[in-house]
């Protein structure tokens, strides 16, 4: 097991990807809309397929626009079905994203002849292959600084998310904690809602190629949820999420190299292990954190409120 | 399409295709049945977490069976592995929800994505186990009904029939759980156990459906048919039937189309078929559909508007003539217009409708005059309004200046029975009563314009 240039590339993409996802993930978590991340990451598929059809290329602005539109449509359709059909929101979300995902699958199958994209790539991503497609940033007297193109894309999205959240921090916070107050103060919580949905959609697309549509959900939800168990302070929550996201990605990649070696099997997917190790970090905090399960027995705390199963 | 022609249609396929199509339809029916309870329990997305959580189980079962020297791809073993991790996922969701500050959505998202990540990592590792081919395992993700063989189908059918039987056996308990779980627990029913049983049923459907629909889209099979059925009925039994039928039809359609176009993913076609049925139901479903509900509201609004028109005409005549009995004299349009605050365009429309119903006639001079029937109806409506107002003043302590507005809300739905009760209560029998408050002659003198309820 040796460290290669490839590993550096994979790690870079993984860390940036996880951090880009953690930013909108914090607000999804606070708004109790984590499953919207699941819904959007599935539902961007038809948007992508149509954008491919139109632009005929994989790396294009059209792709991001298509995804952003599909993401907003998912949020809109869910809203409509909940409001006009008086359907439970979870069910409405489930119907919308499965139908859109199914349409996307068929579109991809139908266009697979002239587009370089297949269904399994959508789910798994191809993190291992990202270093193969690299961009030279700087070249001087034989020493070359090259980064994977995917790293530039997810890095760009990370900066974009950082910028949006910095610009609208107050609005996002208010809209997350008290939408009614936000409305009376003229902050347009619905506009913030759709802006967040758009951010999730764009992030999902950027991460798609690298880690696939379901690992994205892990990157969106798991680090913020872990941080949520550690702090009640919002800026700290965001900072901790970013740190946990990076840590999960690093440990994930290392264990993808190391664990199979123990059993004599070949290496496994880094993206899958990144999700697994993020989950492992969550488990540690859940059990041993300040409010952890194992700490509780010694300290008497109030009964958790009775919950419907 | 009648049942007979469906059967004839099915027989036109090869023996194997027919079996696959029938199996998928049966799966749809079972999913519709179990999904109904999941929907009513507001736990639809829990099925999503469950289905994703089955993936590591499939990988582990494959590895274990390979290590034991069995065929890694035998379906019973894989399904057992899937059930174990699937149920484990659901229990973890419940544990996270009960022991942390995190809510439902986060708990489901964590379990779903982490288990799936673990699953693909494991699948990737076991792919290289010597002497075994794991190639078919990924068909569990998108589903491939055509890959089913006879023994698989028998297993699936037995599981589904057992699920349906179990579901029907605890129908009463599940109903109670869905509609009033706190009542159920005060009556001594083991609600947690029932919830676990429901999850076990969902697990059975999900795991069995993996092969034909795939783990990403099986959730649609559990959610869409019951949600569509909900628009057609308020009765649980009818809803269960409808949901099962919708599920069966989508399953049949999907499997059938994918046997004709084998390169199209079957799961996707099934989901789209169910989605189309959902859309039609949402728009046209007679009980809760958007269009029928809109029409009912419109009808009520118009009825209320017409009653307001007739009462206004009656009140104007009262003001003009002063004494009872009233003579049915023409009312100028301008007076009507200023008597109540109508919304824009409302008055001409109401007048048109009232003329169509022969309650109102247009005089040559442009004035309006109530017809014989309209006059009687106007008197009755005005009387009901005032009865209700008097009742509110005497028995509900509503101030006379406020009473017009309050009465406006209910007077349109007073039935004959209710009117008799009011008459008895207030000891009034015949003629139209005096208004208990001053009738606003024009809008300007009214303290607040009456709402057009």
Q: Which parts of chain A have pLDDT scores under 70?
A: 1-2, 57-60, 112-125, 137-144, 264-267, 296-309
Interatomic CA distance for residues B453 and B445, integer angstroms: 20
The span from the CA of A38 to the CA of B270, in Å, is: 20
Q: Which of B201, B334, B100 is nearest to A289 (CA)?
A: B100
DSSP code of B264? S
Distance of alpha carbon B144 from alpha carbon B390, whole angstroms = 71
The residue to which tokens 């961009």 are assigned: A135
Q: Which residues contact A296 (CB under 8 A, 6 or more apart)?
A: none
**Cα gap A152→B440, rounded to integer Å:** 72
Side-chain half-sphere CA neighbours of B152 within 13 A = 22
Residues within 8 A of B (CB atoms), A 86-145 only: 86-88, 90-95, 98-99, 101-103, 105-106, 109, 119-120, 123-124
* Chain B residues near residue A220 by CB distance under 8 angstroms: 109
Yes or no, beta carbons of A98 and B224 under 8 Å apart: yes
pLDDT at res. B443: 41
Is A221 in CB contact (< 8 Å) with chain B? yes
Q: B117, A263: Cβ pair inside 8 Å?
A: no
End-to-end CA distance of chain B: 46
Note whether A53 and A116 are within 8 A (CB): no
B contact test, residue of A28, A42, A98 with most B CBs within 10 A: A98
B39:A32 CB<8 A: no
Q: How far is A222 from chain B (nearest CA, A)?
A: 6
Tokens (6 digits) for A109: 């199958």
User: Would you call B265 and A282 a contact, using CB atoms and an 8 Å cutoff?
Assistant: no
pLDDT tens column, B77-107? 888 999 999 999 999 998 998 888 898 889 9
ipTM of the complex model: 0.88
Tell me the chain A residues in contact with residue B97 when contact means C-beta distances shorter than 8 Å: 307
Whole-angstrom distance, CA of residue B269 vs CA of residue B272: 5
Q: Does A38 touch chain B (CB under 8 A)?
A: yes
For position B276, what pLDDT does the model report? 93
Q: What is the pTM of this model?
A: 0.82
Query: Residue A225 is nearest to which of B110, B263, B278, comparing CB atoms?
Result: B110
Domain boundaries, chain A: 5-137+145-285
Closest A-chain CA to B43:
A90
| Superfamily of chain region A5-137+145-285 | ABC transporter involved in vitamin B12 uptake, BtuC (1.10.3470.10)
In chain A, which residues have their Cβ closer than 8 Å to the Cβ of B263?
109
Yes or no, beta carbons of B290 and A84 under 8 Å apart:
yes
DSSP, collapsed to helix, strand or coil, labels residue B386 as helix
Q: A294 to chain B: nearest residue by CA? A: B99
In the numeric block, which tokens belong to residue B445? 């003198």
Distance separating alpha carbons of residues B141 and B138, to the nearest angstrom? 5
CA angle A60-A61-A63, nearest 5°? 70
Rounded to the nearest angstrom, the minimum Cα separation between A48 and chain B is 17
Residue A68 and residue A228: Cα distance in Å, rounded?
Answer: 27
Is the Cβ pair B113, A222 closer than 8 Å?
yes
A119 Cα to chain B: minimum distance (Å): 9
**Spans in chain B with pLDDT lower than 70:** 1-16, 72, 129-136, 138, 145-147, 324, 401-402, 405-414, 427-434, 438-453
The residue to which tokens 């019973």 are assigned? B76
- Contact predicate B78/B58, CB 8 Å: yes
Interface check A275 vs B, CB under 8 A? yes
Q: Are B251 and B221 in contact (CB under 8 A)?
A: yes
Residues of A in contact with B121 (CB under 8 A): 256, 268-269, 272-273, 276
Task: Give the tens place of pLDDT for each residue, A223-254.
Answer: 999 999 999 899 999 999 999 999 999 999 88
Spell out the domains of chain B, with CATH numbers in brackets.
Answer: 14-221 (1.10.3470.10), 300-445 (1.10.10.10)
| Distance between CA atoms of residues B123 and B58, nearest Å | 8
Neighbours of B233 (CB within 10 A): 18
Contact A88 B220 (CB under 8 A): no
Do B213 and B270 meet the contact criterion of CB atoms below 8 Å apart?
yes
Q: Which of A53, A80, A76, A27 is nearest to A200 (CA)?
A: A27
DSSP A185-221: TT--HHHHHHHHHHHHHHHHHHHHHHH-TTHHHHHHH
Contact B151, B86 (CB under 8 A): no
Looking at the partner chain, which of A87, A106, A260 has a beta carbon nearest the beta carbon of B125?
Answer: A260
Mark yes or no for CB contact A34/B141 under 8 Å.
no
Contact flag A95-B220 (C-beta cutoff 8 Å): yes
Provide, as residue numbers in chain B, all residues whose Cβ is less than 8 Å from the Cβ of A120.
138, 141
**Distance (Å, rounded) from C-alpha A269 to C-alpha A6?**
14
On the 0-12 / 13-18 / 19+ scale of CB atoms within 10 A, B191 is: buried
**Contact pairs from chain A to chain B, CB under 8 Å:** 214
CB contact under 8 A, B109 and A286: no
DSSP string, B272-301: HHHHHHHHHHHHH-TTT-HHHHHHHHHHHH
Q: Answer for the pair A220, A25: CB distance below 8 angstroms, yes or no.
A: yes
């Amino acid at each position: 097991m040796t460290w290669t240039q490839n590993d550096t590339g994979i790690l870079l993409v993984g860390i940036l990807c996880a951090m880009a996802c953690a930013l909108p993930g914090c607000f999804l978590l606070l708004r109790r809309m984590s499953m919207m991340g699941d819904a959007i990451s599935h539902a961007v598929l038809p948007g992508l397929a149509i954008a491919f059809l139109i632009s005929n290329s994989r790396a294009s602005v059209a792709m991001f626009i298509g995804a952003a539109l599909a993401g907003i449509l998912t949020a809109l359709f869910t809203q409509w079905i909940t409001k006009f059909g008086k359907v439970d929101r979870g069910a409405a979300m489930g119907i919308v994203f499965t139908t859109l995902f199914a349409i996307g699958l068929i579109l991809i199958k139908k266009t697979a002849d002239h587009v370089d994209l297949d269904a399994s790539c959508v789910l798994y991503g191809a993190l291992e292959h990202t270093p193969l497609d690299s961009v030279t940033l700087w070249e001087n007297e034989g020493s070359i600084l090259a980064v994977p193109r995917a790293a530039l894309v997810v890095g760009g999205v990370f900066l974009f998310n950082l910028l949006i959240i910095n610009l609208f921090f107050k609005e996002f916070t208010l809209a997350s904690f008290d939408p009614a107050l936000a409305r009376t103060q003229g902050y347009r919580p619905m506009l913030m809602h759709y802006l967040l949905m758009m951010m999730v959609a764009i992030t999902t697309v950027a991460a798609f190629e690298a880690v696939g549509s379901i690992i994205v959900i892990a990157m969106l939800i798991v680090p913020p949820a872990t941080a949520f168990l550690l702090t009640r302070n919002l800026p700290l929550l965001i900072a901790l999420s970013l740190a946990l996201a990076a840590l999960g990605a690093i440990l994930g990649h290392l264990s993808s190299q190391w664990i199979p070696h123990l059993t004599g099997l070949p290496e496994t997917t880094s993206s899958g292990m990144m999700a697994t190790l993020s989950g492992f970090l969550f488990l540690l905090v859940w059990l041993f954190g300040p409010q952890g399960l194992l700490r509780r027995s010694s300290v008497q705390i109030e009964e958790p409120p009775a919950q419907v199963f | 399409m009648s049942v007979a022609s469906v059967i004839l249609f099915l027989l036109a396929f090869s023996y194997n295709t027919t079996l696959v199509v029938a199996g998928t339809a049966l799966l749809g029916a079972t999913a519709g049945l179990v999904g109904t309870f999941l929907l009513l329990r507001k736990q639809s997305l829990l099925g999503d977490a469950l289905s994703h959580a089955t993936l590591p189980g499939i990988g582990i079962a494959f590895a274990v069976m390979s290590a034991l020297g069995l065929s890694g791809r035998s379906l019973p073993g894989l399904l057992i592995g899937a059930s174990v991790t699937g149920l484990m996922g659901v229990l973890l969701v419940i544990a996270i929800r009960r022991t942390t500050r995190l809510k439902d959505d986060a708990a489901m998202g964590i379990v779903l994505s982490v288990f799936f990540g673990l699953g693909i990592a494991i699948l990737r590792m076991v792919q290289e186990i010597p002497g075994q081919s794991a190639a078919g395992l990924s068909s569990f993700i998108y589903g491939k009904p055509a890959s089913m063989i006879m023994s698989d189908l028998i297993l699936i059918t037995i599981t589904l029939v057992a699920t349906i039987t179990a579901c029907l056996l605890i129908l009463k308990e599940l109903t109670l759980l869905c509609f009033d779980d706190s009542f159920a627990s005060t009556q001594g029913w083991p609600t947690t156990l029932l919830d676990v049983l429901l999850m076990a049923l969902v697990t059975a459907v999900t795991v069995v459906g993996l092969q034909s629909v795939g783990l990403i889209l099986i959730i649609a099979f559990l959610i869409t048919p019951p949600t569509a059925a909900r628009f057609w009925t308020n009765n649980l039994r009818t809803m269960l039937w409808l949901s099962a039928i919708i599920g069966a039809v989508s399953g049949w359609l999907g499997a059938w189309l994918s046997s004709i176009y084998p390169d199209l993913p079957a799961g996707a076609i099934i989901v789209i078929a169910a989605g189309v049925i959902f859309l039609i139901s949402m728009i046209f479903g007679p009980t809760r559909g958007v269009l029928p509900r809109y029409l009912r509201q419109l009808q009520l609004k118009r009825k209320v508007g017409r009653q307001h028109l007739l009462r206004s005409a009656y009140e104007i005549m009262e003001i003009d003539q002063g004494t009872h009995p009233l003579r049915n004299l023409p009312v100028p349009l301008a007076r009507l217009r200023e008597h109540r605050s109508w919304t824009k365009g409302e008055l001409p429309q109401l007048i048109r409708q009232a003329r169509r119903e022969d309650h109102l006639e247009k005089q040559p001079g442009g004035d309006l005059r109530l017809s014989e029937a309209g006059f009687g109806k106007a008197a009755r409506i005005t009387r009901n309004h005032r009865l209700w107002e008097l009742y509110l003043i005497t028995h509900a302590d509503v101030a006379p200046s406020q009473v017009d507005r309050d009465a406006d809300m209910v007077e349109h739905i007073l039935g004959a029975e209710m009117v008799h009760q009011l008459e008895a209560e207030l000891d009034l029998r015949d003629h139209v009563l005096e208004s208990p408050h001053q009738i606003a002659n024009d809008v300007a003198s009214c303290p607040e314009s009456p709402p057009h309820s």
